Structure 1
Amino acid sequence: MSLPMEPTSAAANESVYTDLDLDNCQTLSEDPMGVSLKCKGYRDYPVYFKEGDLRQSVFYGHVDQELIDGAFESFSAFNHINTKVEWRLDDQGKPFAAILRWFIDNPGPDGSSTRASRGEILVVSRVGTVDYGGSCMVALVDAKANPDANEKARQMADDTAADFACGMQEPEWVGKRGELVSERTFSWPEGYVVE
C-alpha cells in the first residue's frame, strides 16, 4: 500500500548570515570626518560601509561605482550598525536582499545613549547585481515596537527587494513605529537614477 504524496510547495527563499568585521575591510577613502570601506560579504557580494558625522551607511553587492563614491543613506539621528548581516537568497542561491539591524543613538537621562533609550531598526536593502548596480533601503521595521520584526523584515525582503527601484522609490515603514526610531536621510549622486 502506497502512502499519499505530500504536496510540494515552491522553493522558499532562504537566509544565510555573515559577520561584518569592520577591522578587516579594505579602506577606499578616509578623511578626518569619516571613512569608506569595502568589506567581505556573502561569496562575491561585498558590503560597502561608510561613516561620517557619527552616522553610518551600508550598500550591498555589485554596486555602481557612482553609488560607492557618492551615495550615503542613513538616519538623521546619530546611529551605528550591528555586525550580523542576514542575506535572503533566491532559488538559485543568489542574494537579492540584505537585512541589518541599526541602532539609533538617542540620548538617555544622563545625555548618553543607553539600551533603554536606543532605537533599533531592521533595515531591508536591495542587493546590487551584475545586471542592476543599485543598492538601497527598501523597508524599515521598528524592532522594539514589533515583536515579529524579523518576520516582517523577511516578508518585505521577499515581496519587494528584487524589483525595488533604487533612486526612484522610497523605502516604507512596516508595522508599528515607536518614538525611538529616526527619519531616513540620503544623498545620491547628482542625476543618479537606476532604471
Structure 2
Amino acid sequence: MRRAAVLAGIAALALGGCDQQWSTPPEEEAATSETGGDVEASGSEVATFGNGVKTVASDAGVEETVKRLEAALEEGGFTVVAKLDHASNAASVELDMLPAVSIFFGKPKVGTHLMRAAPSAALDLPQRMAIYQDAEGVTQVSYNSPVWLASRHGIEQQDDRIETISGALETLAMTAAGRDAAVTQKEDSE
C-alpha cells in the first residue's frame, strides 16, 4: 500500500511538470517573437526555434547525411558515444516511423567545463544531433542551441566556450547537410 502511494506521488509530480515552460535566451526570444516562432539565422540556412532547437535541411537522404556527419565528427576529433536508429527500434516492436537517427558525441575537454559550471548540464551532454526525414520527405539535421542549454542550466562565465561550441555545431550540421565543404573547428583552450 505504501509503495502504491509513493508511486502515485511520483506520478503526480511528473505530470504536474508537463506544462513547464523553459526559458529562452533573450537574443533568441527577441528574434522568435518577431518571426512568430522560428528564426532564420543571419547569413546561414540554420533555423532556430523558441525551444532551443536549431535545424538545417539536408540535400541528401538520412543515410547519406548520417555518413557525412560521422565523417565530420571523426575529422573534427570528436568521440561518438552512441548512435541510435529510431526507425529500426520502432520496427523491432512492429511500429512504423520515418527514418530517424540520433548521434551522441562530444569532447570531454570541452563538455567537462560546462558540467563543472552546472552539473545539471549532464542531462543534455554529450551533444547530439538528430537526422530525420520530415513529413514532406526532406531530411533535417537538428541540434540543441548551446546558448539555450547554457540558459537552461544557468551556466555562467563560459561565453567564449559556448560561442566556440555554437560555431562547431553549426559547422557540423551544415557539413552533414551538404551545405559546407569542410569542418573547421577552433580548438578550445583548457
TM-score computed with the length of structure 1 as normaliser: 0.30
Q: Which has the higher contact order (CA 8 A, sep 6+)?
A: 2
TM-score computed with the length of structure 2 as normaliser: 0.30
Q: Identify the structure with the greater strand proportion.
A: 1
Q: Identify the structure with the greater helix proportion.
A: 2
